[in-house]
Structure 1
Amino acid sequence: MRGHRTAMGVLLTVGALLTGALSATAATAAAPATTPAPGARSVGPAEQREARTFWTAERMRGATPLDLVLTPRAARQLKTPKPDGAPTTVAPTRVAPTAFPQPGGPWTVGGAVVKTSGRVFFTMQGRTASCSGNAVTSQNASTVITAGHCVKYQGTWHTNWVFVPGYDNGQAPYGQWTASKTLTTPQWEASEDINHDIGAAVVAPLDGQKLTAVTGAQGIQFNGGYNKRMYAFGFPAASPYDGSKLIHCSGNSSKDWLFSQDHSLGCNMTGGSSGGPWFTGFDETAGTGLQVSVNSFGYVFLPNRMFGPYFGNEAKALYDKAQAS
Structure 2
Amino acid sequence: MATPFRTNVARAAAVGLLLAVCAAGGSASAVPVSAAPVSAAQDPRVGPLFLAGTPIHVCTGSVLDSTDGELVLTAAHCIAGSGGALSFAPGYDRGVPPFGLWSVSQIYVDPAWLRSQDPQHDYAVLRVAPAGATLPTTVESAVGGGFELASAPATASDVTVTGYPTLGDGPVSCTAPTTSTDSYPTVVCDGLGEGTSGGPWAMGSRVVGLVGGLDHGGCTDSVSYSPAFGPDTLALLDRAERRDAGDATPFALTGTCTRS
TM-score, scaled relative to structure 1 = 0.60
1:160 to 49, 62, 85: 85
1:232 and 2:161 matched: yes
Identify the residue that residue 169 of structure 1 maps to in structure 2.
94
**Cα deviations across residues 272-320 of structure 1 (Å, max 9, x unaligned)?**
111110012x3xxxxxx210111113444x6510001111111111111
SS of aligned partner of 1:171: coil
Identify the residue that residue 210 of structure 1 maps to in structure 2.
138
Report deviation, 1:186: 1.0
2:211 to 266, 288, 295: 295
Structure with larger Rg = 1
**Cα deviations across residues 154-212 of structure 1 (Å, max 9, x unaligned)?**
xx444322111011233211011112211111111221111110011111255111111
Distance in structure 2 (CA, Å) of the matches to 1:65 and 1:245: 23
SS of aligned partner of 1:217: coil
**Cα deviations across residues 253-280 of structure 1 (Å, max 9, x unaligned)?**
01114xxx32100123111111110012
Change (3 A) 1:139 1:273: same
1:133 and 2:61 matched: yes
Structure 1 unaligned residues grouped into runs of 5+: 11-58, 76-101, 283-288
Report deviation, 1:7: 7.0
The list of structure 1 runs, each at least 4 consecutive aligned residues, that deviate by more than 6 angstroms after superposition, is: 7-10
Distance in structure 2 (CA, Å) of the matches to 1:130 and 1:250: 22
1:272 and 2:195 matched: yes
Count of residue correspondences: 220
Identity percentage over the alignment? 24
Instruction: Output the amino acid matched with 1:312.
Output: G
Change (3 A) 1:7 1:317: closer
1:189 and 2:105 matched: no
> In the alignment, is the contact (CA less than 8 A) between 2:104 and 2:129 conserved in 1?
yes
Identify the residue that residue 123 of structure 2 maps to in structure 1.
198
Change (3 A) 1:7 1:220: closer
Matches within 5 A, 1:30-41: none
1:262 and 2:180 matched: no
Distance in structure 1 (CA, Å) of the matches to 2:117 and 2:67: 28
SS of aligned partner of 1:244: coil
Distance in structure 2 (CA, Å) of the matches to 1:187 and 1:6: 23
Report deviation, 1:150: 1.7
Matches within 5 A, 1:24-35: none
Distance in structure 1 (CA, Å) of the matches to 2:230 and 2:88: 24
2:227 to 298, 302, 309: 309
> In the alignment, is the contact (CA less than 8 A) between 2:20 and 2:78 conserved in 1?
no
> In the alignment, is the contact (CA less than 8 A) between 1:3 and 1:305 conserved in 2?
no
Identify the residue that residue 88 of structure 1 maps to in structure 2.
none
Distance in structure 2 (CA, Å) of the matches to 1:3 and 1:227: 25
Structure 2 unaligned residues grouped into runs of 5+: 27-34, 244-260
Change (3 A) 1:190 1:262: same
TM-score, scaled relative to structure 2 = 0.74
Change (3 A) 1:3 1:292: farther
Change (3 A) 1:251 1:143: same
Identify the residue that residue 179 of structure 1 maps to in structure 2.
104
Identify the residue that residue 174 of structure 2 maps to in structure 1.
249
Distance in structure 2 (CA, Å) of the matches to 1:220 and 1:8: 24
> In the alignment, is the contact (CA less than 8 A) between 1:141 and 1:212 conserved in 2?
yes
